[in-house]
Every structure is written in C-alpha cells, then in structure tokens.
Chain A
Amino acid sequence: MKDEYIPVVTEVADIRTETPPGDRMIRTLRVQKEGKAPFAHLPGQCAMISAFGRGEAMISIACPPNGEYLEFSILLQGAVTTDLQYLEKGEKIALRGPYGNSFPVDEWKGRRVIVVGGGIGIAPLRSVYGHVVRHPADYAGLDIFYGARDSQSIIYKQELFDLLEKRKANVHLSIDRPEPGWNHFVGFVAANLTRAAPSPQNAVAITCGPPIHITVTLDVLKKLGFSEDQVYTTLERKMKCGFGKCGRCNIGEVYTCVKGPVFSLARLRRLLPEGLPDK
C-alpha cells in the first residue's frame, strides 16, 4: 500500500526571485525529478512541500500541467517558507501530492476566462491562465486582472508584460498607490475590475487573494451580472495531512484539501456560511 506521508524527493531546477528580499519576499521554485515533472496535476491543485525539521506547507501549483516541471511561488510567511527561501538551484526538495480538486477548465472550453488575482493569490490562478494561453483555440478569450500593493510586489512581471505585448491576453495590472513611472491602473483590483466591466456573457471568472480581496471581488462580479455558477474561487485553510483525515480544513462536511480548494460560488453558498470569506 502506498504510504501517503512519504514525499517524493525532487530537485530545484530553477529559481526566479519575483520580489526583492525582505518580509514579503516571493520566489518561484521550479522542481523536477529526473528532468520531468515529479507527478501529473490539474490546474488549481496543490502539493505539500517539506522543510524537514520545520514541517510542511500546502502550496498551490503555480504552473499549468506540462509534464516537464512543477512551479511553486512561495511567499515568505512562517517557519517552513523561511527555510524554503534559503534553497538554492540544484538542491533537493521533498514534496507530496497532488492534492485537492481543480478548476474545471475542460467544461469552460469555448468561453472567455476572466482571472482576478490579488497579491500572492495570482499563483494558483496562473495554472489556469497558463493553461488557456497554451490552448488559445479552446477558449473565447482571456482577461487577467491582477494587483499588488506596489510595482515591486507584482510577480510574473515579465510573463504578464509578454502576454500583453503579444496580445495573448488582456492584462489589467494595478497597484494600490501611485508610483512614478507606473502607467497602469492605480487602486484596488476590484476598482480596476469595475472600471473595465467585463461582460458576463459566455464567461467565467476566477478569483483568489486575501479574504478581503475575494469578498470585494465577489461583490463586483455580482454587480456586473455574473451568476454564482460563473464565479470560482480557491480557498486557503490550515492543512496538515492533505488527504482529508486530520480534520481542520473543513467547510461544513467538505474537506478543503479533498473536495476543495476550488469552489464555485454557487457551491460555496450551499455549504455552511463558514465557507464564505470573512467580512
């Protein structure tokens, strides 16, 4: 029988420093096992990454399925992520997964995908927009709304500017406060979304970010006429086991690590009010 607790040992194939060193440092680790992805995954799924002696952390997989590698964008936050920030290219990293459900990207074929990310919340959404970019013929279009507190905190910068330049997606970037040289939107992501007012017709919207970001985004999408089954989010909960046993990540009878973290708003409403983000 497979021992679910035993992680697979992989190698850090590449590291991108997304934001400058400091308390909010984000690095993207690319991991491979023998030159390939250590396991197959679906957009929106997560993996449990080990920092031995410190513990494990559930991190969303921040790249579309490609068979070649997995990527994780890791925000410096606590003990595990502090250790992970010291990893260097070529070193080993242990992880297990994939865990959780995924965004139903196959169901969405033929529709326009609208991504609304705040802060580090863009990471799980990248697995979706990356998938749409890889299969442009399957989807009616791609909008990416993404904001961070300042221009330094914007991650995937090069990739997003490339998408914008090559017109592979409508990228709407924003930062919270004005900065010299910033010629995109200034204000919260929700305000940017209100301004652009994408049509709900033949579209799905996905959002992730801090609880307040999700709450406000859901309000805006509702005002724009999106119905609750057109809106998806991916939730964060404290997780230890990752496969529905340890008992802490539940929303009602649903364990987020198994039947989440991806929920349509309609499904979230059917669960108990506990599932809705804090006001």
Chain B
Amino acid sequence: MSAIRVPASRMEKALAETGWRVMVPSGAGRKGGYVELRAGGRLPRECGDHTKPSTPPKGLVFPNNEELLSYVLGVKGEIEVGPASHTMARTVLYGTPPCDTASFRALDSALLKDMAEPGYAGKRGLLGVIGMACSRAGRWCFCTSVGLSPRSNIGADLMVYPDGDDLLVERVSDRLDGLWKRLEAGAAGADEKALRAVEGKFVPRVLNFVFEAEKLADALEKAFGSPYWKEFSERCVSCGICTFLCPTCHCFDITDVAKDELSGKRLRTWDTCQFPEFTGETSAHNPRKERWARQRQRVLHKFLYHPRNHGHMMCTGCGRCIRYCPVDINIAEGVMRLGGSK
C-alpha cells in the first residue's frame, strides 16, 4: 500500500518514537526559519505561503558555514590534514511546502551527481523529507509555472495531505520506511481514489504564465545577447538575497581560516553569482564583471543550464527572490519577457 489515513496525533507520536530530530517551518517571513521541534511540540497542521520562512530548508544539509578540513603545519614544513566529519543527527524535515520540498531534487542533482560534494552528501544521507500539500498561495508564488503544484510530492520521501484531523500519508520513497512502518501498523489504507479526492482540495492557482522547460531553454539560449539583460538588472545592487534565500541555489566559496600561523581550517560558505568577486580571477580578469552578466547567469543557470544538465528547472516558484529583492527585480517577469509563453 502506498497511502494511508492516520490521525494527525499519530504522526506526532510516531515521529517522537523514532527519536529523530524533527525540523519544522517556524515563523513566516523575515524572522522565520526551519527550527527544531521541541520535545512535546505540535507538528504544523497546514502549510502555505503564510507559514513560509524567508530562509529555505537547504541550510540543514548545506549550511552557510561548513568545515571541510583542519590542518596543522610543522615548523619544518610538515603538513597534517584532518578530514571533517560531514555528519549530523538523523533528521526529518516535516511540513515543507511543495516548493521547498522540490528544492531537494534540484540540490541532489547538482551536488550529488557524478562526483558528490562530500559535505552535502554526508548530511543528505541522514535527512528525510516529509512534504505537505500547500493550502495557500502567496502574492509571489509561481510553482504552477515551473511544473510543480501545491500538491506535488517531488523531493519528498513521505507526502502528507491534511484532511480535517487526519492526514493522508503517501509513501514516495523508501528512505523513511522506519517511520512508515510505525504509521502503517493498524492504519486505514487509502486507495488511489481516496488520495486523489483529498489531493484535489489543494487547488493549483492558475497563473497566466507557464514556463515550458524545453521551449524556455531554447528561447533563453537565443536571448543570450539580448539588450534586455541590462534593463533587467540596471537597479540590481549585487547583494546575495535572491540566491541566499533561494531554496535551490547552491554555489559556494572555499576559504581558509587560519587559527594561528601553523593551524587552521578550510571552510565552505554560501557564495553567489551576484557578487562581483565570484568569478574574479587573481589576475583581475573577470568574465562576469558586469551586473547584467551576473543576473543573466542566475536566470540561465535556473532555466537553461541546469535543465540541460539535469532535465528539470532549478526553480521551484517559491517567490522568495521576488518578495525579498530590495529593488523589485522579478525573475518571473524577466523570464516571461525573454521566453515564457502565456
């Protein structure tokens, strides 16, 4: 059976029994974040734009600050390198809206495919994601334009659809089978029809713009030299908001932090294509020294390069980059101008 109906309280109990750390969205907007549920704390019963924190869940497995190694140098030039552990407590992320849930598909393909990024790989293996159907779209939401919807389960291991005091729980992957077995024991099964019926309550907002991945990629490729990029980014201030708050953006910097002359650590920190130094070579040559070239990189990475490499858009339509941009740069507006279809 791949779906069951359980009382919401049962989920609370089953999760508590696992002893895993449970992270939930807490506080909407700027002050919010994904935080650890305290013992005995209530799980969120609904999710939507009104419960969405400004910072996405990526930081759980892709922290802004991650030690990659430590080093000790000898006075005679000896080098001792200590690897970092890249681990965390077994964690379940509960109640992520579909936009944040789907971000893990993009992050996994970017950071695990071919050669895995060790820091992400280590933590990701210890994370389970329980996505929740979204009951309220916000002013800047456009998940339905990027092939997702308020009820999509992409990126989830279990998907829950709140239905009164009950939850319909769908098993999407085997990663959380430990929990699934606890839930399943004695629970009422939900057949395909029942699932669809509850799912149907989470109505996708119809937007007047749709991005069709392949067509869009082709159109953007043709628009590479478009003068619109300059107009799109003339008021950009080159801060990191759009990318740091993006649930899928994953570019990073590696720098050494010396503790003293002979020891220190190597760190991985969030970086962004919007900072001028991101591509600045030591020689002073910089292939993306103009702001428009950097904004173009952000848009094309999401809608052209990542789709070409991984088959899906690197944007989940969460709307954070639009909502929090201090100068009202709107990625959906830009993409529409350059290659979207009504």
Contact = CB atoms under 8 A, between A and B. Distances in A.
Given A56-B254, A247-B251, A250-B305, A1 B118 contact: yes
Interface string A75-115: 00110110000011011111000000000000000000000
Given A52-B264, A55-B254, A253 B279 contact: no
Interface in A197-240: 211, 236-238, 240
A91 B258 CA distance: 20
A160 B181 CA distance: 71
Contact of A6 (B69, B255, B256, B285): B69
Given A92-B78, A241-B117, A247 B273 contact: yes
Contact of B279 (A54, A92, A237): A237
Contact of A245 (B73, B110, B280): B110
Interface string A47-62: 0000011111100000
Interface of B: 68-69, 71, 73, 76-79, 81, 83-84, 86, 110-111, 114-118, 121, 221, 224-225, 250-256, 258, 261, 264, 266, 271, 273, 278-283, 285, 287, 293, 297, 300-301, 304-306, 308-309
Contact of A53 (B69, B115, B256): B256
Contacts of B264: 52-53
A240 B250 CA distance: 13
Interface size class of A (residues with CB under 8 A): 35 or more
A248 interface: yes
Contacts of B297: 250
Classify the interface of chain B: helix, strand, loop or mixed: mixed
A94 B81 CA distance: 9
Given A52-B73, A211-B285, A1 B110 contact: no
Q: Which of A54, A87, A244, A278 has the most CB of B within 10 A?
A: A244
A75 B279 CA distance: 19
B85 to A, nearest CB: 10
Nearest to B71: A52
Interface string A168-191: 000000000000000000000000
A248 B278 contact: yes
Contact of B271 (A87, A244, A246): A246
A248 to B, nearest CB: 5
Contacts of A93: 79
A34 to B, nearest CB: 15
Contacts of B255: 55
A211 B283 CA distance: 11
Contacts of B79: 9, 52, 92-94
Contacts of A240: 252-254, 271
A1 B121 contact: yes
Nearest to A52: B71
A149 to B, nearest CB: 15
